Amino acid sequence: MSEPIGVIVLAAGQGRRFRQEAGVERDKLVADCTGRDGAVHSMIEQVLVNLPASLEKRVLVTTVDRPQVIRMAKAYGCEIVLIESTGMGDSIAAGVAACPQLGGWLIVLGDMPFILPASIERVVAEIADDAVSVPVHEGEFGHPVGFGRSFGAALMALSGDRGAKALFAQARVVEVAVDDPGVLWDVDVPEKLTFK
C-alpha cells in the first residue's frame, strides 16, 4: 500500500455513564489513568502515548468544550476536527473526511487507554484496500479497527450514533489474534481507569 494509514481518534462522546458515577463535571478523557506500565496520565494522553510513532497522520475528533483534550492531542501531533454531534458515526465520518486521500484508517476510541502498542501495530499491518482489520482476544472482536482505502466513502457516509460495525457485513474481515485484554477494555465507569 503506497499511501500511509491515518489514525482517527474518537474523542467526542460525553461519557454519560462515567459522569453518572463520578459527577457531571468530570470528563473521563482527562481523568487520571494508570497505564499498564504504571505511569499515570490523563486517559486521552494514555491513548495517544500508545499510538505507534510510525502512524504519522493523526486526527482527533472532539467537541469545542474540551480544551484540555485539544491541547494534549496537538502536543502528540494530532490535527483537530471539531464537531457538534457526539455520535460515533458522525465522528468517524468527520475524521475520515479530514484525510480522505489515505491508504486506510485506524479508528481508535478515546476511552480505550490500555491497548498495547504491539497490538495496534499488528492491526495496522493487516489493513488492506479491501479489508477490515480487527483485533480478536479470546474470541471477541475489539479495538482499534482498521479500514482499507475502499471503505472511505462508506465511512464518510456514517452518521448518528451508529459506528462502522455494519460495514463488516460487506467486507473481507481480517481477524488479528492478540493476547491483549486491553483491546476489549473501555473505560465507561471510574473503576475501570485502572487496568486489572
- The more confident residue out of 167 and 116 is 116
Taking the domains of the chain in order of start, what are their residue ranges?
5-186
pLDDT of residue 1: 46
Mean pLDDT on 21-27: 91
**pLDDT tens readout for residues 32-58:** 999 888 999 999 999 999 999 989 899
**pLDDT tens readout for residues 138-148:** 999 999 999 99
- Residue 76: how many other CB atoms lie within 10 Å: 15
Mean pLDDT on 54-70: 95
Mean pLDDT on 64-84: 96
What is the dotted CATH code of the domain comprising 5-186? 3.90.550.10
**pLDDT tens readout for residues 154-180:** 999 999 888 888 888 888 999 999 999
Within 8 A by CB and 6+ apart from 103, the residues are 1, 2, 3, 4, 5, 127, 129, 148, 149
Distance CA 53, CA 49 (A): 9
pLDDT of residue 49: 94
Cell 471510574 identifies what position? 190
Distance CA 161, CA 102 (A): 24
